[in-house]
Amino acid sequence: MTTDLQETSDLPIDIATVAGIASIAYIFGVALHEYAGHALACTMLGGRVRELGAFYVDCDYQSIGDLAIRLVALAGPLVSLLVGVVAFYALGQIRQAPSPTKLLVWLLGSIGWMTATGYLLFSGVSGLGDFGTSRDGVLYNLRPEWLWRVGATVIGLVGYRVAMGKSVQGMEGFNGGSGIERIRRAQKLTLTSYLTGGLVSLLIGLFNPQGWVIVVTSAVAASFGGTSGLVWETSLMKRDRATGEEPLRIERAWQWIVAGVVAVILYALVFGPSIKI
């Protein structure tokens, strides 16, 4: 028994490799939210995209009505939700894939669902963001405002709890083994991914020309706030559960590390200062 526990605890979880994978997942998550969501909806509904930033899309609303503006705001969270659905489904179909690949897909699903539901919660409490009460928010001019915001907050809380449960379920599928060592591996993965995503988002956000407002309301809120469930979702894992999967191993993989660094640099340099169209 002692030998098995020692062998399990010695399984490698390379922090640098996990950070590289997390960087890619966070960048893809925000890019799909902004460009496949807000930007595409703006164009399809008759608006004109004036500017593409790393964490925002500036849509010219002059030629579209109130409903279309709300749909543009809604499109980002909907795309994030869809990304989560596809990623979690794919995770169940790639059981034989390498562990880094499964980690990437799992992160895309977790980030997608936490972003979508987290925005509901954030906007309900603050009145800012995609579901906010400003002119470009889903709840703009809806009365009584307090009731809509309370509703968004409650739905966001419930949805976020569901997202965390789904994230834990997904991790249980590829983080095998039993006992406390399985939990410790999960904590190492989630904490490393969360801190990497937050720091990467903050770094990229510093390049934006809109000042600290975008950094605080988008970059920091969506990463440190929106995906904070990654930090404490391991509390939902059953300590005494044993899975049939092999214990997770993520060894040093320079291709993932380099890919993560390149993704951060390119996204920061291209979209950080924003692209005017």
pLDDT, tens digit, for every residue of 81-107? 999 999 999 998 998 889 999 999 999
pLDDT tens digit sequence for 209-260: 766 666 666 666 777 788 999 999 988 887 776 665 677 889 999 999 999 9
Residue 185, in any domain of the structure: yes
Dump pLDDT digits (tens) for 185-200: 899 999 999 999 999 9
Say if 42 falls within a structural domain. no
pLDDT mean over 110-119? 95
CA distance 164 to 234: 9
Q: Which domain holds residue 148?
A: 11-36+80-270
For residue 210, being part of any structural domain is answered with yes
Of the candidates 79, 68, 2, the one whose C-alpha atom is nearest the C-alpha of residue 37 is 79
> Number of structural domains, the chain?
1
- Indicate whether 54 belongs to any domain: no
- Do the domain assignments include residue 1? no
The answer to whether residue 26 sits within a structural domain is: yes
In a domain, residue 87? The reply is yes
| Range picked from 92-96, 155-159, 178-182 for highest mean pLDDT | 155-159
- Tokens 């599928």 locate to 173
Inside any domain, residue 245: yes
The pTM (predicted TM-score) of the whole model is 0.91
Report the first-to-last Cα separation within the chain, whole angstroms: 63
